[in-house]
Amino acid sequence: MKQKQAGILARSILACCIAFLCLSVCCGSLAEKTGKVHGGWLILRSMPSYSGQQISSYPSGTIVTITGQNGSWYEVTAPDGLKGYMLGKYLYVSGDDIIVGGDAWVTSTNGLNVRLREGPGTQYRAVASYTPGTKCTVLEKLNKWCRIRIGNFSGYMMTKFLTGTDPGSGGGGGGTILRDVYVTSTNGKGVNLRSSAYKGNNVIGFYEVGTKAGLISKGSSWSLIHIDGKTGYMMNQFLTTTKPEPIEPTGKSYVISYNGKSVNLRDGPGKQYQVLSAYSPGTPVTVITVGDEWDFVRINGKYGYMMDQYILTK
């Protein structure tokens, strides 16, 4: 009797372990997926229901990370870090539209190039990198990776960086470039390109007045554009359909510091980036783009980033 009870208990424990393992695998697989907004601006809600409070909204082309599913709603994390629920019919889910033998297009959350590797893993050597919108042929579809061919190259790319929807079809898979637009500003200074439609620490590029871009979609305050090989967001007030004449920034700028020490010029907008040089207080600075915390500048012919608090404009 004891042996029988022990056998039943062992099978029960094994069944629970298998169920837990399956659940973990399913959840892990879902967490790897991303979704791309299509059909206009999509509302992020606090609950998986139309009655859920509106947290924010995002235009076509926005890529969100899918962390769960509740019926026809997906639990997501938006590019700006906000979490909530989006209606599934307005999301293209990564991998679902990828067909072996069919065409696919490169996509990315930050508009930067995506690497093609020799094998299905980040430990393999990158053989090339491609801009969002690049067309490829799907040769094999694995769990998280696809073997693809682009021109004369074949290799592996993560499935989450591929979409089966033609960017030029108007379906929202990568956005249709409607017309040419140009960067503009009232003070002649450059403008930030951001990875999502909000003013956060998500700058992926800086562009001077007159730089040409392709308009993908336009919202009430932000537009999704393709510029210099990157796809990102810029406020509508800094875009125009008529090419403006470049305006020289007004005023003169200088390096300042509160302790008299030199200030670092870095190769990126953050203290984690490499120091290119250091300049003493009083050194003239040409400010090309004003950021939220870091400015893109030129000093003695060298370009880089310096914290805004160390630059004085007269």
**CATH, residue 276:** 2.30.30.40
Check whether 148 has a pLDDT greater than 90. yes
Mean pLDDT of the chain: 78
**Residue 171 included in any domain:** no
Amino acid at 158: M
Write down the pLDDT at residue 121: 92
The string of pLDDT tens digits covering residues 62-108 is 778 888 888 889 999 887 788 999 988 888 776 666 888 888 888 87
Q: Summarize the confidence of residues 2-22 as an average pLDDT.
A: 49
Q: Does residue 222 share a domain with residue 198?
A: yes
Domain final position from 93, 119, 143: 93
Closest CA to 78 of 97, 54, 102: 54
Q: What is the pLDDT of residue 169?
A: 47
Classify 100 as helix, strand or coil: coil
Domain count along the chain: 4
Q: Is the pLDDT of residue 116 over 60?
A: yes
Q: Residue 297: which H helix or E strand, with range?
A: strand 294-299
Q: Is 94 in contact with 162 (CB distance < 8 Å)?
A: yes
Q: What is the chain's alpha carbon radius of gyration, rounded to the nearest angstrom? A: 24
Q: What confidence tier does 11 reach under pLDDT thresholds 50, 70, 90?
A: low
Two tokens, residue 10: 């062992």
Asked if residue 81 is part of any domain, the answer here is: yes
Distance of alpha carbon 89 from alpha carbon 43, whole angstroms: 12
pLDDT at 38: 74
Residue 19 belongs to some domain of the structure = no
Neighbour order of strands in the sheet with 239-240: 203-207, 191-194, 230-235, 222-227, 212-218, 179-183, 239-240
Task: Tell me which of 26-40, 41-55, 153-167 is least confident.
Answer: 26-40
The residue from 93, 121, 149 where one domain ends is: 93
In a domain, 14, yes or no: no
**CA dist., res. 254 & res. 298, Å (int):** 11
Final residue before a domain boundary, out of 117, 136, 163: 163
The answer on 118 and 155 residing in a single domain is: yes
Return the bridge partners of 158, or none. 145
Query: pLDDT tens for residues 267-288?
Result: 888 888 889 899 999 999 988 7
Helices (DSSP H) in the chain: which residue ranges? 2-31
pTM recorded for the entire structure: 0.41
Euclidean distance between CA atoms 82 and 41, whole angstroms: 16
Q: Do 155 and 120 touch, CB atoms closer than 8 A?
A: no
Q: What separation in angstroms does the CA of 76 have from each of 52, 68, 73, 196, 217?
A: 14, 7, 9, 15, 22
Q: Examine the pLDDT at 173 and tell me if it is beyond 50.
A: no
Tens digits of per-residue pLDDT, 32-41?
A: 577 878 767 7
Judge whether residue 202 has pLDDT over 90.
no
Conformation bin of residue 20: beta by default, left when phi > 0, alpha when psi is -120 to 50? alpha
Position with higher pLDDT, 187 vs 139: 139
CA distance 267 to 270: 9
- The rounded percent of the chain whose pLDDT value lies above 90 is 19
**pLDDT at residue 18 is higher than 80:** no
Does 27 score more than 50 pLDDT? no
Round to whole Å and give the CA distance between 202 and 196.
7
Least confidently predicted of 104-113, 256-265, 299-308: 104-113
Pairing relationship of beta strands 126-130 and 135-141 according to DSSP bridges: unpaired
Beta-sheet strands, E only, within 159-221: 162-163, 179-183, 191-194, 203-207, 212-218
Which three-class secondary structure state does DSSP give residue 122? coil
Residue range of the domain that includes 293: 253-313
CB atoms near residue 263 (< 10 Å):
20
Residue 247: per-residue pLDDT: 54
> pLDDT grade, residue 141 (50/70/90)?
confident
**Residues 114, 126: Cα–Cα separation, whole Å:** 10
Position with higher pLDDT, 233 vs 122: 122
The answer to whether residues 284 and 257 belong to one domain is: yes
Q: Would you call 237 helix, strand, or coil by DSSP?
A: helix
